[in-house]
Every structure is written in structure tokens, then in C-alpha cells.
């Protein structure tokens, strides 16, 4: 128990961490290119924020939250997603009064009490963007283009971008009535949650994860057929801008987001072949959310992608992203009494921006050379009796085994030049 991470969580070990850093860098660069700036919000928030901001009829809120009471009896929740947190920060800092749109991106762990499986964890990581303050369909297209830009930069080519419009509260009302009528004869076959929620919230049945619910309402009318002219026009424009910019997508009228504050554009990216959890990201417009969370009437749009799933997709596509490893210089003190000058040299190398290592136990020269090999050191610097007495160092190039003797005072500069040719 003590020696195992909690179910649904895992360690990112240093080798793996490099892949994460590489991916995070790519994403960050793309987001900044598109004018999005990083926001970091707390890992936990007041539970009520998610009840309102995600919706208390959703699985996330009703079943999957890590909620706890703190010592002052407040109900707090580890964030299950990032949008509500950004909305809260936007309202708290009155940023809706400044330059609009406000464009943010975030990275970070999210927590959901989900059933762990490949690509699904209880602590997982998302990258997300949110843009507040513009209803323009150009912004919808921009957000989707950023998502596509990120995928292109990772090297992933095989993915499907699904696009739909979920309308606005006005056009959704007439659809709601029709959908309820359609569901009534099939209600017995719905899951227990949907049996209860379909009367009030029939759209939630459409995005219920239970396969039996989807099966029992197969052939249902689609929201798309009920869009009002304004919503149709918005959708047509988004599609048009995407086409003009050579972004491929497929219209998918089964793609729904069952909450009232989701409006117009909805999209999802799937990677075929990464298993049951094929969605790597999704998002959409939420023009009613800021108001629902206690802020002004301010439109918004965003998306979130699962970092684990992108890494999984990259692995399966045979793409092995990794930061180029720093070149390492290993300093060998041939004897315990040379430890102190060796430490000094390591410090000088590090001060010059060169990654340097040594063995503080001054084991045998052979053991230290093995250590250097294991670390994949580019150069080894030897400090023995001759070197100390003569005021020089011996530098061995580990790839071609050439050796150089250089005065101690010139050592750092020489090593720097040598590394450039390694
Ligand atoms: P959502 O906030 O549910 O729309 O999720 C956005 C993205 O986060 C999904 O497309 C997944 O890539 C990822 N994701 C959601 N839940 C999990 C989870 N439990 N484990 C890993 N990734 C997840």
C-alpha cells in the first residue's frame, strides 16, 4: 500500500519527464504564437464553483469529484477541469473590464474519480485555452486552428476533427420538447441516471457515456435540425473560415454538450486506434457560463486536451519526442585528496552553463569511468597527481577517445569549444 501510488495515479519518471517537457514546450510556443498567455489557478476551488460551472447534473460533478471539507468546514474540490477555474479568476480580477478578448492557456493536473484504464486516470493532465469576450466566429475558428497547429507541431497526422453546433438556449428549447417525446417510449431501457434526468435535461442523455443509453435512443432527432437562423449562420461562418484556411473537419451532429451554457460551436478531436479513450481533446463555445458563475454576460470559447492521451498517440504513431539531452562533462578526482579541486571545477563548469557531474566518493578511476559512461558523458576530465602538480587537466573525448592536456585556467573555455564539436 505504502509503496504504491494511489489507484489511477502514477509517477512521471525522469526519462518520461523529458517527453512531457518537450510536448509542453511545443504547446506553449504555439499558444503564445496565437496570442494566448499562461494562467495558473489553484488546484482546489470551492465545490460550488464546479457545481455551477460544470453543472451538477453532469457525471463529473455528481460522481467524479474529489471533494473534501477543510478544517474550517468549507467544502473544497480538487479541480476536475480548468474552464470553471479560469471563469472564476476572470470574474475575481474584473478582467472583463480590460482589453477583450482575454486569451489564456493553462497546463496542470486535473482530478476525477473515474474508472482507471488505458488513457484514463484519476489524476491526469490537461492543456487548455479559454478566450473570453468575443462572439465572433473568427474566434471559434482561431481556437480550432490553434488546436490543429499544436497537433501539427507534435507530428500527429492521423486524427479526426469533429464539428457541430449545439445552438443557443432559444433554438434548444423547441428541440428539448421533441427529444423528450422521442425518449419517452424508450425510457425503460435508459440507465438509472438518464431515467431520472431525461425529463429535465434530455440533452444529457445524448452525451451519456453508457452504451445502452446511446443504443436505446438511436435514430433520435438531432439538435442541428432545430438550429435558429442566427446559429446556422454562425456555424456556416466557422466552417467557412476553417475551409478557407485548409483545416479539415467532419460535421458530426451527434456531438453534443448537454449543458445550457454551451452554445454554438462544439468540437472534438479523436485519434483512431489509441483504444477506447480515443478523444484527445474537445471544446466549444460557452456564452452562458460566465454569467452562470456569477459574472457579467460575457461570451467565451475554449478547449482542453489530455496530455497523457497525446503522448500515448505519439507513442503509437512511432513519434518519440524528447528534448535533446544536455551534454554532460564528468569530472574524475583520482584520489580523495583531489575532491576539493574537482568540486571547484564542477562549479566553474556549471557557472559557465555546462552540465557537470562528479563522484563525491572518489571511487576507483575505473568505477568512475563506468559511471561517466552510464550518464552518457561527452567528456571526462581527469584530476590526478600529475594534473594537480602540473596545474593542468586531462580531458578525454568519450566518443573518439582523444585526450587533451590543458592548463587549469583555460580548462572551462577549452571544454566549451570541445563540446561544440562533440
Ligand atoms: P473533458 O474536459 O472531459 O472534455 O476532457 C478533455 C480531454 O481531457 C479529453 O479529450 C481527454 O483527452 C482528457 N481526459 C478527460 N478525462 C480524462 C481522464 N480521466 N484521464 C485522462 N485524460 C482525460
Query: What is the per-residue pLDDT for 405?
Result: 97
Of ligand 1's atoms, which has the minimum distance to the CA of residue 83? 2
What per-residue confidence (pLDDT) applies to 363?
95
Beta strands in 53-152 (DSSP E): 66-69, 75-78, 102-111, 123-132
CA-309 nearest atom, ligand 1: 12
pLDDT score recorded for residue 408: 95
Where do the domains of the chain lie?
14-168+228-316, 328-420
Q: CATH homologous superfamily for 328-420?
A: Anticodon-binding domain (3.40.50.800)
How confident is the model at residue 335, as a pLDDT? 93
Q: In angstroms, how far apart are the furthest CA atoms of the chain?
A: 95
pLDDT at 205: 87
Q: Is 121 in the pocket of ligand 1 (CB under 6 A)?
A: yes
pTM of the entire structure? 0.90
Fold annotation for 14-168+228-316 = BirA Bifunctional Protein; domain 2 (3.30.930)
Nearest CA to ligand 1 atom 10: 281
The pLDDT assigned to 214 comes to 85
CA of residue 306 to ligand 1 center, whole Å: 5
Identical fold between 14-168+228-316 and 328-420: no
How high is the pLDDT of residue 157?
Answer: 92
Cell numbers describing residue 146: 490553434
Distance (Å) from CA 121 to ligand 1 centroid: 9
Strand 75-78 versus strand 44-46 pairing type: antiparallel
Per-residue pLDDT tens digits for 289-344? 999 999 999 999 999 999 999 999 999 999 887 666 789 999 999 999 999 999 99
Q: How far apart (Å, rounded) are the C-alpha atoms in residues 78 and 322? A: 30
Residues of the chain with pLDDT under 70: 258, 322-324
Cell for 232?
446556422
Torsion sign across C-alpha atoms 330, 335, 339, 344: negative
Amino acid at each position: 500500500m505504502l509503496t504504491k501510488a494511489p489507484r489511477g495515479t502514477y509517477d512521471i519518471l525522469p526519462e518520461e519527464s523529458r517527453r512531457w517537457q518537450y510536448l509542453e514546450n511545443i504547446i506553449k510556443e504555439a499558444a503564445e504564437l496565437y496570442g494566448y498567455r499562461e494562467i495558473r489557478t489553484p488546484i482546489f476551488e470551492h465545490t460550488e464553483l464546479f457545481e455551477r460551472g460544470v453543472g451538477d447534473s453532469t457525471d463529473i460533478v455528481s460522481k467524479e469529484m474529489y471533494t473534501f471539507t477543510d478544517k474550517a468546514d468549507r467544502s473544497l474540490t480538487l479541480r476536475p477541469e480548468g474552464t470553471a477555474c479560469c471563469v472564476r479568476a476572470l470574474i475575481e480580477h474584473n478582467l472583463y473590464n480590460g482589453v477583450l478578448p482575454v486569451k489564456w492557456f493553462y497546463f496542470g493536473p486535473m482530478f476525477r474519480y473515474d474508472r482507471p484504464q488505458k488513457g484514463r486516470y484519476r489524476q491526469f493532465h490537461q492543456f487548455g485555452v479559454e478566450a473570453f469576450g468575443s462572439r465572433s466566429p473568427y474566434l471559434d475558428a482561431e481556437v480550432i486552428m490553434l488546436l490543429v497547429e499544436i497537433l501539427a507541431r507534435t507530428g500527429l497526422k492521423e486524427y479526426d476533427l469533429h464539428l457541430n453546433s449545439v445552438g443557443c438556449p432559444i433554438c434548444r428549447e423547441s428541440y428539448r420538447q421533441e427529444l423528450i417525446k422521442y425518449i419517452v417510449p424508450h425510457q425503460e431501457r435508459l440507465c438509472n441516471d438518464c431515467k431520472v434526468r431525461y425529463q429535465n435535461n434530455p440533452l444529457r442523455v445524448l452525451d451519456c457515456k453508457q452504451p445502452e443509453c446511446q443504443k436505446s435512443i438511436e435514430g433520435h432527432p438531432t439538435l442541428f435540425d432545430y438550429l435558429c437562423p442566427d446559429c446556422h449562420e454562425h456555424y456556416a461562418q466557422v466552417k467557412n473560415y476553417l475551409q478557407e484556411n485548409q483545416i479539415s473537419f467532419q460535421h458530426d451532429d451527434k456531438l453534443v454538450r448537454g449543458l445550457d451554457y454551451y452554445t454554438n460551436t462544439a468540437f472534438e478531436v479523436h485519434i483512431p486506434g489509441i483504444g477506447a479513450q480515443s478523444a484527445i481533446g474537445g471544446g466549444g463555445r460557452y456564452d452562458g457560463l460566465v454569467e452562470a458563475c456569477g459574472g457579467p454576460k460575457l461570451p467565451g470559447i475554449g478547449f482542453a486536451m489530455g496530455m497523457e492521451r497525446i503522448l500515448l498517440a505519439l507513442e503509437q504513431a512511432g513519434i518519440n519526442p524528447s528534448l535533446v539531452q544536455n551534454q554532460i562533462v564528468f569530472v574524475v578526482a583520482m584520489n580523495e585528496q583531489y575532491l576539493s579541486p574537482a568540486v571547484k571545477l564542477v562549479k566553474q563548469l556549471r557557472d559557465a552553463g555546462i552540465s557537470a557531474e562528479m563522484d563525491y566518493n572518489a571511487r576507483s578511476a575505473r568505477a568512475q569511468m563506468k559511471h561517466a559512461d552510464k550518464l552518457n558523458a561527452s567528456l571526462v576530465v581527469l584530476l590526478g597527481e600529475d594534473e594537480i602538480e602540473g596545474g593542468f587537466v586531462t580531458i578525454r573525448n568519450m566518443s573518439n577517445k582523444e585526450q587533451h592536456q590543458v592548463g587549469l585556467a583555460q580548462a572551462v573555455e577549452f571544454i566549451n569549444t570541445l563540446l561544440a564539436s562533440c
